[in-house]
Amino acid sequence: MHAVMGLASLENCAVAISCRDEFIGWTQSAMNASIKSGQLSPLEAYQKLISYLNEGIDSIDYSDLCEATDIQNPSSSVIEKLNSIAVEADNQRKNMIVGNNDDLLEENPEVEGDIARSEQSVQLLFRHKRAEQLAKNLASLIVLRQVITRPNFTSEWEEIGEEEAVGTAIRVALTVQKSKHIGTSMLELNVCGAVPPYNEILGGKLVALLATSPQVIHDYKERYGGRRSEIASKLKGSDICRPADLVYIGTTSLYSIGSSQYNRLKIPHEAIDAKMDIKWEKLGYTTGYGTLHISKATTLCLKEAMGDNNKINHVFGEGPSPKMRLLAASIRDLLESAHDDTKEFTKHAMSRIVYGAKIACNTSMYMLGFDESPDFYTDIDNYSEGTEKIIKFWQERWLAHRINYLPIFD
């Protein structure tokens, strides 16, 4: 019969948060900073990028796309062929999904023919993904291999990195590495707060601290460790199980003006006998894009306007936010444009503060692939004791002072 003091919910992180990626090291500017600081040499950094691409290529089943020799010695003709396969598979899939075909959206269609069509649609989707990603990875690999052989590479690496082709190759390589961890090593707090009246004793801070606790790290690993990664397995054509080692927790504020719940929220390492301080850090701001301002009525109007051209579905692996994809496709259709003219339509201008907390001593080095395993800030096996220490710290740091503040009792 314990009282519920607060609520927390954890979900997968958004893929594109630039200030978070900079914080972790998944950006070209972060890589450049590591080179300038002497942490990496230019050659070491670019060789690491090449290793990302090689690993990404190895994670794709290309048996029905090209030959092994094409992978070992990639050329522009191989890349052109892969891009053609990707376009063809995408067109075939879209032709299967015409209009508001709800059969393909159901998890358990009743008609056998619909099940076959749904499975075929997924197969075409991943054929498209495999060919497209393989083409990007091979094209980037060619560029970076050529870069490190330039005679002036060591002295002019920064200027070389500003070339369009090189910059694109770097971003592709970093995206390959990010894709390994975005769904397995990091989570986002989408609900975090105290239930009245515990908000008066700063229970929200307790919930935010407990989100970084060894209990959460342990439970996440227990629940998801050893599970099959659906998308990675479909790309590889065999079962892929990735580690469920949680090393980063992120969240965003409700508003852009600040958050008293996360500002300066920190657990000193000596307070809980940890290897490092645990702190919520302000990383930057979201850019204010999304679909929260697009009403249900508007969405229905856009679907109706597209008519038989509506090919948006909820098939797993299709991509994030069907609503966003519907908005983009319908605006392109209405404007009769082949380009993405939807950016301004998806801008709601409600920017939010991005916060992040590293919960391993080597969070960045682990997610950049330099370290094979995480070095957590405390003993995860003894997670109950570690979590109790966090609770005790909150009691001494905030609760003990707050209960002497008489106005809260009113």
Q: Residue 314 pLDDT more than 80?
A: no
Q: Residue 161 pLDDT more than 80?
A: yes
| Residue with the larger pLDDT of the pair 327 and 198 | 198
Q: Which pTM value belongs to this model?
A: 0.84
pLDDT of residue 348: 64
Q: Residue 11 pLDDT more than 80?
A: yes
pLDDT of residue 55: 96
pLDDT of residue 290: 67
Least confidently predicted of 51-60, 93-102, 394-403: 93-102
Q: Residue 104 pLDDT more than 50?
A: no
Q: Residue 180 pLDDT more than 80?
A: yes
pLDDT of residue 253: 84
Segment 264-302, tens digit of pLDDT: 899 999 999 999 999 999 999 887 666 667 788 888 888
Return the C-alpha torsion angle 18, 325, 85, 125, nearest 10: 100
